[in-house]
Chains A and B, each alone.
Chain A
Amino acid sequence: MFRTIALLSGNFSIEGIKSMELWGQGLFVVIAGLVGVFLVLTLFFFTIVIMQKIAEAAKRGKKQEENEEA
Chain B
Amino acid sequence: MGARHREVRAMSEVLQEIFNGFVYFGQGDNWKALVMYVIGGVLIYLAIKKEYEPALLLPIGFGAILVNLPLSIAGEPTTVAGLLDSDAAPGFLKVLFDAGIATELFPILIFVAIGAMIDFTPLFKNPYMIFFGAAAQFGIFVTFFATLMLLPMVVPGMDNSYALKLASAVGIIGAADGPTTLFVANHFSLIEYLGPISVAAYSYMSLVPIIQPPVIKLLTSKKERMIRMDYHEEPVSKSIKILFPILVTIIAGIIVPMSVPLVGSLMFGNLIRESGVLESLSQTAQHELANLITLLLGITIGATMVADKFINPVTGLILLLGLFAFVFDTAGGVLFAKFLNIFLKRKINPMIGAAGISAFPMSARVVQKMAKKEDPTNFILMQAISANVAGQLGSIVAGGLVIALIDMLVR
Contacts and interface: CB of A to CB of B under 8 A. Distances in A.
Given A17-B409, A48-B123, A55-B240, A38 B404 contact: no
B251 A45 contact: no
A41 B168 contact: no
Interface string A23-40: 101111110111011111
Contacts of B355: none
Contacts of B406: 29
B61 interface: no
Interface stretch (B14-22, B110-118, B125-133, B313-321): B125-133
Contacts of A17: 409
B401 A37 contact: yes
Contact of B144 (A14, A29, A39): A29
Contact of A49 (B127, B131, B237, B390): B127
Nearest to B252: A40
Interface string A1-43: 1110000000000100110001101111110111011111111
Contacts, number: 119
Given A1-B255, A41-B130, A33 B247 contact: no
Contact of B401 (A36, A45, A51): A36
B167 interface: yes
A14 B163 CA distance: 18
A18 B164 CA distance: 11
B256 A36 contact: yes
B145 interface: yes
A45 to B, nearest CB: 5
Interface residues of A, number: 34
Nearest to A21: B160
Nearest to A17: B409
B251 A44 contact: yes
A47 interface: yes
Nearest to A50: B247
A26 B130 contact: no
Given A29-B141, A45-B128, A45-B130, A22 B160 contact: yes
Contacts of B164: 22, 25-26, 29
B195 to A, nearest CB: 25
A18 B128 CA distance: 36
Contact of B137 (A18, A27, A34, A51): A34
Given A22-B160, A38-B134, A47 B405 contact: no
Contacts of A49: 127
A58 to B, nearest CB: 8
Contacts of B160: 22, 25
Interface of A: 1-3, 14, 17-18, 22-23, 25-30, 32-34, 36-45, 47-49, 51-52, 55, 59
Q: For the complex of A and B, list the 8 residue pairs with the smallest distance between their C-beta atoms, beginning with the closest.
A: A26-B148, A30-B141, A48-B127, A41-B134, A36-B401, A55-B237, A38-B134, A37-B134
